[in-house]
Amino acid sequence: MPRFKPLLMIALLAISAIWAVTVFQMVQSRAERREDLGAQKLGWREIAWPFPRDGWPAGRAFRCQQAACVEGSEIYVRAKLGFCNCDTGVADDDEVDRVADLDLISPRFTARAAGQVVRVADLAGRSRSYDLDVADARRGAIGFALSHRCDLMVAVVQGRAAEPLVQHAAQQFLQSPDVQRWMMAALGSGK
């Protein structure tokens, strides 16, 4: 009987480890579903990051599937740590042009007008509207460059609908609690 004791202990440890991993996966899966549901309430569904690797970590990408967020629009959001002027934040439209990842969609983009100051929850910066030449078609896009301390959160929404509607849908999405939590965590300032 004494020689079965170590085997029994090993079996119990193995069962405990499997149980712990299963519980962890269930909790993590439930949290991911809850976060995904927050985006889905606004009509956005997460898709794979569609761009090749570059000097920055991949972000998150979403496609609109409802009229409320202009069906077919896509938004790409990612952090660029240490890439912002710590004193002035996002100072001008040239900076939005440089950092907002428009070149990932098309190297041929033209600003429609001067940008505007925007605030998205705890982040402040600028947004600017653009025309994109994509595969012999013209599409509209809005670039966001938002600062937090010395870091940037950039977002680009592209779509075919009128600019104010797309901008409103994008800002509403970026201000949603789940997206805000993710953005602040990506910036190293989790709430």
Candidates 3.30.870, 3.90.1570, 3.40.1000, 2.40.50; CATH matching 43-186 = 3.40.1000
* pLDDT at residue 111 tops 90: yes
- Summarised one tens digit per residue, pLDDT across range 2-16 is 666 766 667 666 676
Average per-residue pLDDT for the chain: 81
Closest CA to 161 of 79, 56, 69: 69
Q: What is the pLDDT of residue 37?
A: 43
- Coil, helix or strand at residue 61: strand
d(CA 170, CA 167): 5
For the chain, the domains span 1-41, 43-186
Q: Which residue has the higher pLDDT, 163 or 76?
A: 76
- Compute the distance between CA of residue 159 and CA of residue 153 in angstroms, rounded to an integer: 20
Q: Give, in degrees to the nearest 5, the angle at Cα 31 between 25 and 32.
A: 85
User: Residue 21: its pLDDT value, please?
Assistant: 54
Question: 128 Cβ partners below 8 Å, 6+ apart?
Answer: 93, 96, 97, 100, 111, 112, 113, 114, 115, 116, 142, 143
152 forms beta bridges with: 80, 147
> Cβ distance 77 to 59 under 8 Å?
yes
| CA 116/CA 126 separation, integer angstroms | 5
The per-residue pLDDT for 191 is 47
| pLDDT of 1 over the 60 cut | no
pLDDT at 12: 66
Q: What is the token pair recorded at 50? A: 């569609």
Asked whether residue 28 carries a pLDDT value surpassing 60, the answer given is no
**Mind listing the pLDDT tens digit for each residue in 122-151?**
899 999 999 888 776 778 899 999 998 889
The separation between CA 90 and the C-alpha centre of its own chain, rounded to angstroms, equals: 18
pTM value is 0.75
